[in-house]
Amino acid sequence: MSGWLAVLIRALPLLLLAWPAHADLPGIPAVTVTPSEDGGGEEYSVTLQVLALMTALTFLPAMLMMMTSFTRIIIVFAILRQALGLQSTPSNQILIGLTLFLTIFIMRPVLEQVNEDALQPYMAEEIAPLEAVQRASEPFREFMLAQTREDDLGLFMRIADEQAATPQDVSFWVLMPAFVTSELKTAFQIGFILFIPFLIIDMVVASVLMAMGMMMLSPIIISLPFKIMLFVLVDGWALIMGTLASSFGI
């Protein structure tokens, strides 16, 4: 699994780094060292290509969330925790860790194709960075198109005043917000379905407490053990993760 994480980390900056490798790029002065004896000095500079790469690294978190299955998974996990009535268990770190590795599992075919078609030829200096960017974007485009609703895609095409004969002709900058919008809608639909059984348990417990005259006792305190027991008995984590993976066609 760690190998695919390394591929993801190395491939995503490639999507933003489009300067030709053979270009003679100017440097930006960074540090000047001046010895005290003879007064001479030496200047160290940073090339624009390295500067662009370091800038591209800051976009990694946004690209991870907006171009993969990360958004849908983390929202479903957050809604599930709220439905169970647990405020901080599992913790945010655990949920993000689960989401990250489940995202790598789901995105594995895409990462394999990016590694084979773009990353390895680029590292072997067989193709230029611009061509590597183009090749790396195609698997992500196919993945996002498969998960994007036509209504959302049409909405952003109208906003951008853009025309396309087929969905494959839509620009990447229109596809990305349409994909995120579709992911949000799908995540909340799955979360709504997950919320229903736990809501029924809360309503039943509240009705029983009202009938017994225990109006001062919080129904959440009583229903929490029953919701956890139900979730464990049906092997909830396996069902949730399997459902999320299969919702992407895995």
- Checking if the pLDDT of 231 tops 50, the result is yes
- In sequence order, which residues have a C-beta less than 8 Å from that of residue 164 and are 6 or more positions away? 157, 170, 171
Mean pLDDT for the stretch of residues 86-98? 85
- Give the DSSP H or E segment for 29: strand 27-33
Amino acid in position 229? M
- Checking if the pLDDT of 29 tops 80, the result is no
Q: What is the Cα–Cα distance from 96 to 92, expressed in whole angstroms?
A: 6
Q: 53-62, 82-91, 155-164: which has the minimum mean pLDDT?
A: 53-62
Mean pLDDT for the stretch of residues 191-196? 89
Residue 217 per-residue DSSP state: S
Q: Ramachandran region of residue 235, left (φ > 0), alpha (ψ -120 to 50) or beta?
A: left
Q: What is the Cα–Cα distance from 80 to 241, expressed in whole angstroms?
A: 12
- Checking if the pLDDT of 225 tops 60, the result is yes
Mean pLDDT for the stretch of residues 85-89? 80
Percent of the chain, pLDDT > 70? 78
- Give the DSSP H or E segment for 44: strand 42-47
More confident: 210 or 101: 101
Mean pLDDT for the stretch of residues 60-71? 81
Measure Cα distances from 124 to 100, 116, 139, 175, 212 in Å. Answer: 29, 11, 20, 30, 74
Are 86 and 54 in contact by the 8 Å Cβ rule? The answer is no
Summarize pLDDT for 102-143 with one digit per residue, the tens: 988 888 888 888 888 877 887 777 777 777 778 888 888 888
Which residue blocks in 67-164 are alpha helix, DSSP H? 70-84, 92-106, 108-114, 120-123, 129-147, 150-159
Mean pLDDT for the stretch of residues 229-246? 87
pLDDT at residue 36, rounded to an integer:
47
Q: Ramachandran region of residue 161, left (φ > 0), alpha (ψ -120 to 50) or beta?
A: left
pTM of this structure: 0.72
Mean pLDDT for the stretch of residues 35-56? 57
